[in-house]
Structure 1
Amino acid sequence: MADFEDVINMRRSIREYTDEEVSDEDILRILKAGMQAPGSRLGAEPWEFVVIKNRETLEKLSQIKPRVKTAPVAILLVANIERAFYKLHWQQDMSAAAENMLLEAVNLGLGGLWNGVAPTEETMQKVADLFGLDNENQIPFCIITLGYPAEGWENKFMDKFDEGRIHYEKY
């Protein structure tokens, strides 16, 4: 396992993967990391997850989100609005869960990619239809692809710090 600073600084969007399978144990650890994210209210977090490993389903999903095609596994993050405490803040809760999952993937030596679904209505509807979501109370938020990074796609440090974006007391 990497130390925390390494995990934060090395995470990159990995768009190509090897064919090596991701273990169920690693998938579970990534899901647990997502559920440890801060939420608007304890016990009212909206997140639910659909783990997708079936090649036929991944192929169908890649017709909507092409980057899914090469991944050995994808996880669809679904906001269950009925569980959300603050009905208008679910995107923040879901984003925190997604980032935790991506960081845990790096910690485990995997790569990941956040594939946006919400707020694009057409994409949301297509994903909802594919997975049987009602798209009113079960909103597809994003798809995280996971796998072992292909050559040239390794997690590595890229300095993105820009002091010019920091403001004190007012903008």
Structure 2
Amino acid sequence: MSDSVFKRVAIRKYTDEKVDQEDITKLIAAFQAAPCGMHQAKDMRMTVVKDTSLLERIETLTKNACYEAPLLFVINVKKDSMFGQRDASVAAENIMIEAADLNLGSVYLMNAARILNTDDKLLADLGISDDYEASVIVACGHAAEHPDDDRSKRYQVLIK
């Protein structure tokens, strides 16, 4: 298994250092590579937020639920999509594994996405149309913490 899978941990504290555009491009490519249910790719979109004023508005609305990360990937799904929520989660994991590979920190944020959906003006400013909703946010940046999290035996596994 890829070292990046084991390296990926939830990071909730970031430095102020910006993420390089080259790395952002790689993270977007990881999103693009995510599978989607029944090939319904048009049911999912993503908004990459690096604009300081938008980041501040999101932090204010979510009461700092995005941990002041310098980069957010807001994954949006069609409101009536059968597979959208699941597709968004898989895409988020792709982004987080690629972030780990790039020595960046990340964290999966579902509640922050739900809160984001309460502000129509902010959604519009993020380019999220009325027929889509924020499903998952991946906060990303240079980690200011490095948790030691042994996840090798986290879940029970039955083999029959």
| TM-score normalised per structure 2 | 0.83
Q: After alignment, is 28-37 or 41-50 more displaced?
A: 41-50
Across the aligned residues of Structure 1 and Structure 2, the Cα RMSD in angstroms comes to 2.4
Alpha-carbon separation, structure 2, partners of 1:92 and 1:17: 27
The AA in structure 2 aligned to 1:154 is H
Q: Deviations 1:91-125 (Å, cap 9, x if unpaired)?
A: 111111010000000000100111114884xx253
Question: Once the two structures are aligned, what percentage of the paired residues are identical?
Answer: 25
Match of 2:158 in 1: 167
- Give the one of 134, 139, 142 matched to 2:136: 142
The separation in 2 between residues aligned to 1:160 and 1:64, in whole angstroms, is: 36
Is 1:56 matched up with 2:56? no
Match of 1:74 in 2: 72
Distance 1:57 1:119, change over 3 A: closer
1:11-160 correspondence runs (5 A): 11-42=8-39, 44=41, 46-65=43-62, 66-80=64-78, 87-117=81-111, 120=114, 123-132=115-124, 133-135=128-130, 137-150=131-144, 153-154=145-146, 156-160=148-152
Please report how far the alpha carbon of residue 43 of structure 1 lies from its aligned counterpart in structure 2 after TM superposition: 5.5
Structure-2 change in CA distance of 1:107 and 1:17 (3 Å): same
Taking the aligned partners of 2:119 and 2:95, their CA distance within structure 1 comes to: 20
Relative to structure 1, is the Cα distance of residues 92 and 111 closer, same or farther in structure 2, using a 3 angstrom cutoff?
Answer: same
- Are 1:9 and 2:6 matched, yes or no? yes
Number of matched pairs: 156
Q: Shift of the alpha carbon at 1:128?
A: 4.6
CA distance in 1, matches of 2:113, 2:75: 13
Distance in 2, Cα, partners of 1:119 & 1:27? 20
* Cα displacement (A) at 1:157: 5.0
- For 1:5 and 1:127, locate their aligned partners in 2 and report how far apart those are by CA, in whole Å: 39
Structure 2 CA distance for aligned equivalents of residues 97 and 106 of structure 1: 14
Larger radius of gyration: 1
The 3 A distance-change label for structure 1 pair 119 and 125 is: closer
User: Which structure 2 segments of 5+ residues have no match?
Assistant: none
Contact 2:113 2:136 in 1 (8 A): no
1:51/1:162 Cα in 2 relative to 1: closer, same or farther (>3 Å)?
A: closer
Q: 1:21 to 1:91 in 2, by over 3 A?
A: same
